[in-house]
Amino acid sequence: MAIEVKNITFSYPNSQVTAVENVSMTIEKGERVAIIGQNGAGKSTTVKIMNNIYKPTKGTVTVDGINTKNKTTAQIAPHVGYVFQNPNDQIFNDDVTKEIDYVLRYWKLSEEEIKRRREEAIDVTGIRPYLEMHPFDIPLPIRKFLTIAVVVAVSPDYVILDEPTAGQDLWGCAQLRTVMDYLQSKGKAVLTISHDMEYVAENFDRIIVMAHKNIIADGKTKEILYRPDILKEAHVKPPLSAQIAQAIGIRTKVLNLKELTAAIS
Amino acid sequence: MGVCIEFQDVSYAYPLTRKAAVRHLNCQLETGKCYGVIGPNAGGKTTFCNLMRGLCPNFYGGILKGNVLVNGKNLLEWEEEELSVQIGYVFQDPFAQVSGIKETVFEEIGMGMENLGVEAEEMIKRIVEIAKMVHVDTLLQKNPLALSGGQCQRVAFASILALNSDIIVIDEPTSQLDPEASNDVFEIIDLLKKQGKTVIIAEHKVDLLAEYCDEIIAIADGSIIAQGSAREVFADPVLREKGVRIPQVVSLALEMEEAGTPFCRMPITMEETIRMLKEKKEGK
Amino acid sequence: MTDREFIESFRHYQKKGNWWCDFHPIAKLVFCLAFGFMSLIVFKWQAGLAIFILAGIIAIFTPARKTYFITLGVMFVVGCLFTVVVRLYVHMGDPGPVAFYLFGKAVPKAAVISCLDLIFMIEGFLGIFMTFFLTTEMRDLCYSFEQIGMSPSATFMVLSTFSGIASIKEKLNSVRESQRARGIETEGSLIVKIKSVLPVLFPVIISSMTGVEDRTLAMDARAFAANGKHTALRKVAPAKPVEKLIAVLALIICVAGSIAGRIYL
């Protein structure tokens, strides 16, 4: 079971230049993968193709063996969920629970099933204190957790998070970890686009590096974050702990402050 | 140095809310310093910024208690348009700040000056100067609506700097930018500091704040929980109690302390930490 | 244009190097309104044709000629031919002098003439308006109105309405993408489309409402409320006497022509 992307090329309508060129990757169910790289490297375009929002100009995408070519985006949505960067593009109900229920009712699930999924999604995303509020009165960083709750309730096997840590405080980052752990416990794959290297180093086992419309590296987090040549090409800086470790000549590959402290002591 | 902004027991509640957004704020901001405002979301950072600029209560309404003094004069006594010249304000969303009615970056930057009635020749001179300063001089002919987030935020800065305010308030300028664009923003802030402006930035990127700011103000649950130099404030345990993010190097220092090998003093930048760690190594 | 030339251009009045494009915006507007309304009021093919030819001649001498003739051609084919067919069909077989026979039925002269009247009224009206809109920038028109006393807030409203329409289209796209990604179909049969109206429209409306608030604040930060005299970076030359004369002449022709047309044609 996997999303398989084979040699995809894509250019936006009315545009002469391609946004991604000949990209291939496989995301297995249950994996945690981060895509990193500079803005304009083709990260967002690639994941939008995996979610079938865009159709590749060349190449194929299969989700659990289903070719997405002749499917609509909404038909792929139950398998591949996407949390957009801007929650305001999505929310339209005047009530938090209605918002979460909307797609479930759209799919005509039973009342008990809807309730079970909704309650679970609310608990995992920590938005219970905000149930009484109008969605647009909820502070923006927390509003984002409402859109995450919507995806959690849909329960797709693959979840894509676009810049989830942007604008989040400590509470938000901790809550995000809870969501990711929950998804993993359910055997779901989590794919994220992020600039936040601390978050990537802490939470992801595998990193895909994109630069100039293509994948330039794909491998274990520890390996990739200690490849200065690749990071430089992608205009990415390693996490601070790794930077310090390298500067003071520590040989072990540390990825967080705890490991760094241990290595120094 | 003189005090340019002073909060005297300020409490404020937005309209239609029962709970006050900020309570009993007391602080003084000195001319020419750079202040970093930190704290959890919805803790009162933005309200603090809005109060200085008079958007609370002039724009949002609501109830204000206590006094906010800007250059010694009460906020409510200032004419609104005068205040907008005194205090420049850069917002969070880069795209919401373009006027939408100017077709080139050049004219966009000039808009504020047009409103103030600055003569054309003077405007052109200042736009060229400021564009160079914030590195948008290659974008002058572009449409502001066709820029990337980072470029757009730089143009927003240029548009505000063109007004030549002495105090500049910046609310989470990098939350929607990538790391390179964020660094650009902080370079601009550094330039402003060098020009002697008073800068107030609300931000989550505490590592950058620690490097650039003279003072840090931590706000949580609507109250100021700590104010002082970055070194003092970030070491204050109250920050961790209230869930305020601290720079990674400070976390490292705390971890080291726990592991029984403390630093001689609290580091606040990466360079400093590396230097101290090297010294430690040699000292062994 | 190099940046240097571009900056230099603001030291002078804006010039495009074409007589009609550089025609003073308000004088041009008066000229075009006069002939446009004359075409409407007279409602006879002779007047319409004359105005249509006049517009065509003006358009030929501007850089916008290509767009002008293509757009007008499309409008002619789609709009006018359709009205002609409908009108002729309705009047087929009516009594009166016969113009020609179609499918064995008499087409009266009166019907043909009324068709021509309608066509050229529309073409004259649209033609003269297109020569205005294709060669005049809204910002220059607004600037000119500001010069004669219109308030900057009014011009701001006009200009932001125009740009707002363009940005709403973009917003619609991103909201549609976002809703499809969560499983709501937005394409397909009419029922599906109707179902998707609310999820797509609501976020667009909300965002344009919050957009207004953001923009108000941003404009406030640019001292938009300042009381004193506003200056302008981009300037348009004041109307030349000959331009004023042409505008006045157009007005006289419009009034006289309309009266004469109603009486004699």
Say whether A195 and B178 touch across the interface (CB within 8 A). yes
User: Mapping DSSP to helix (H, G, I), strand (E, B) and coil, where does residue A55 land?
Assistant: coil
Q: Indicate the pLDDT class of residue A28, thresholds 50, 70 and 90.
A: very high
pTM over 0.95: no
Taking CA atoms, A115 is separated from A104, A184, B255, in Å, by: 10, 22, 44
pLDDT averaged over every residue in chain A: 93
Flag if C182 and A154 touch (Cβ within 8 Å): yes
Q: Which of A92, A100, A106, A108 is the best substitution to test chain C (most C C-beta atoms within 10 A)?
A: A92
Instruction: Please count the CA atoms within 13 angstroms of the CA of C8 that sit on its side-chain side.
Output: 5
Report whether pLDDT(B264) > 70: yes
Q: Mean pLDDT over residues B167-173, rounded?
A: 93
Tokens 């001292």 belong to which residue? C223
pLDDT tens string A153-171: 999 999 999 999 988 999 9
Q: What is the mean pLDDT of chain B?
A: 91
- Asked whether the predicted pLDDT for residue B51 surpasses 90, the reply is yes
Say yes or no for a CB contact (<8 Å) between A38 and B180. Answer: yes
Reported as a single tens digit per residue, the pLDDT across A69-114 is 999 999 999 999 999 988 888 888 889 999 999 999 989 999 999 9
Can you give the three-state secondary structure of chain A, one letter per residue?
CEEEEEEEEECCCCCCCCCEEEEEEEEECCCEEEEECCCCCCHHHHHHHHCCCCCCCEEEEEECCEECCCCCHHHHCCCEEEECCCHHHCCCCCCHHHHHHHHHHHCCCCHHHHHHHHHHHHHHHCCHHHCCCCHHHCCHHHHHHHHHHHHHHHCCCEEEEECCCCCCCHHHHHHHHHHHHHHHHCCCEEEEECCCHHHHHHHCCEEEEEECCEEEEEEEHHHHCCCHHHHHHCCCCCCHHHHHHHHCCCCCCCCCHHHHHHHHC
ipTM of this model? 0.85
Taking the CA of residue B202 and the nearest CA in chain A, the distance in Å comes to 11
The structure tokens 């609509």 sit at: A72
Of C142, A10, C223, A167, which is closest to residue B205 (Cα–Cα)? A167
Residue C183 banded pLDDT, cuts 50, 70, 90: confident
List residues in chain C touching B: CB distance below 8 A.
Answer: 1, 3, 6-7, 10-11, 139, 152, 156, 159-160, 163-164, 166-167, 211, 214-235
Mean pLDDT of chain C: 86
Residue B27: name the closest of B84, B66, B77, B76 by CA.
Answer: B66
Q: What mean pLDDT do residues A170-182 have?
A: 95
**Chain A residues whose beta carbon lies within 8 Å of the beta carbon of residue C198:** 92
Of B91, B110, B141, the CB nearest to C1: B141
Chain-chain contact of B243 with A261 (C-beta, under 8 angstroms): no
pLDDT at A216 over 90: yes
CA of B94, closest CA in chain C: separation in Å? 10
**Separation between Cα atoms, residue A2 and residue A50, nearest integer Å:** 11
Mean local confidence (pLDDT), B123-133: 94
pLDDT at A225: 94
At A240, list the tokens: 């601070």
Instruction: Work out the pLDDT band at A228, boundaries 50, 70, 90.
Output: very high
The answer to whether B160 and B112 have CB atoms below 8 angstroms apart is: yes
